[in-house]
Amino acid sequence: MKLFYSPTSPYVRKCLVCAHEIGLIERLSLAPATPHPVQRDRALVAINPLGKLPTLVTDEGTVLYDSRVICEYLDSLAADSLTEGRLIPAAGTARWAVLVNQSLADGILDAAVLTRYETAVRPEALRWDAWVAGQLDKVSCGIADLERRADDWSGRVDLGTVSIACALSYVDFRYPSRDWPALDWRRGAPKTSAWFARFKERPSMRATEPPAA
């Protein structure tokens, strides 16, 4: 399978962490791409018209995106070889809990990435402070919700917790709290912070760390 990727994309990282956790990483070959919301990567657009990462081409030549679809596909492959350890419960309450945690983590990421576009990609004269404030409020409210529910999810390794870890890691990566005091998320989230300190030491997370910002 070929995964179009960049080393700093948190959505790519979700897929890579999943592949590590379920023992499929050796089956992925990585193809670098350079997506950008304005200067679109035409080679990538030819595969995925949205021009976004991650994009997977399966061994049968099927093109899959986005990260949610790819993670579910990888998990389905693992189902053939694992008796336990799947990252997405097949059905029922446990499935919805995992998928909602993924939605929340993806929503935090979407807001953090839009903030990045606003503060690092958009010409300085065209930036809108209220937009950034609105996006960062999503990040803060999202993490506060995780903290309230931490006892429910923090004991598991699943697509929800993988997504949460990738989102928190991206916030740390792009918004060091010395530069962004409003994103010093650990202060108000001791349970989530303690969980993340452990989770980010998993081999799957260590192997997928982005290069220094």
Report the interface residues with a copy of itself, using CB under 8 A: 36-40, 45, 49-52, 62-66, 68-69, 72-73, 76, 91, 93, 96, 99-100, 103-104, 107-108, 111, 122-123, 126-128, 130-131, 133-135, 137-138, 141-142, 144-145
Instruction: Tell me how far apart the alpha carbons of residues 143 and 146 are, in angstroms, rounded to a whole number.
Output: 5
Measured from the CB atom, is 16 or 99 closer to a copy of itself?
A: 99
Cβ at position 73, least distance to a copy of itself in Å: 6
Measured from the CB atom, is 111 or 165 closer to a copy of itself?
A: 111
Measured from the CB atom, is 21 or 75 closer to a copy of itself?
A: 75
Cβ at position 64, least distance to a copy of itself in Å: 6
Cβ at position 18, least distance to a copy of itself in Å: 16
